[in-house]
Amino acid sequence: MELDLDLARQVLDAQPFSRLLDARITAFGDGAATLELDIRDELRQQNGLVHGGVLAYAADNTLTFAAGTVAGPNLITAGFTIDYVKPALGATLRAHAEVVRAGRTRVICRCDISALDADGGETLCAVAQGAIAVASGG
């Protein structure tokens, strides 16, 4: 099955949690994927920062979508680590992931998660690396 941006958007839309967050795929292909979501009050923790779980969701999903550009759709996250480097504040959260190495059974990817302000200024908030498992069978 050939994966493209339209199909990636359909897959994302089929995820109820992604719909709840209003996430969107803005780029998909050539070993990379970008996911964005608008920062809104419901996604903040008690100090007004975007909750770390939202950043982890963005990393998890974007790592897997990037892997899908080289390994197809039958994937599942095997694990990932995330380091939070700055508070996420702004208008938009953007996660961009790239394939580091694609193997037969695992695809290793890394992801930068940034907050964009209303003027387009970008602040790196978190970095993640993950292993995406290629599921056997169909």
Query: Using CB atoms within 10 A of its CB, is residue 93 exposed (0-12), middle (13-18) or buried (19+)?
Result: buried
pLDDT at 136: 76
pLDDT at 2: 62
Q: What are the CA-CA distances from residue 102 to residues 20, 69, 91, 109 (Å)?
A: 31, 10, 33, 8
pLDDT at 41: 96
Instruction: Give SS3 for 122.
Output: strand
Whole domain around residue 22: which residue ranges?
5-134
Instruction: Give SS3 for 84.
Output: strand
Give CA–CA dist 68/61, Å, rounded.
11
Q: What is the pLDDT of residues 47-64, one digit of tens each?
A: 999 999 999 999 999 999
Q: What is the pLDDT of residues 25-37, one digit of tens each?
A: 999 999 999 999 9
CATH of the domain at 106: 3.10.129.10
pLDDT beneath 70, residues of the chain: 1-2, 137-138
Domain tally for the chain? 1
Interhelix angle 52-71/5-13, nearest 10 degrees: 140
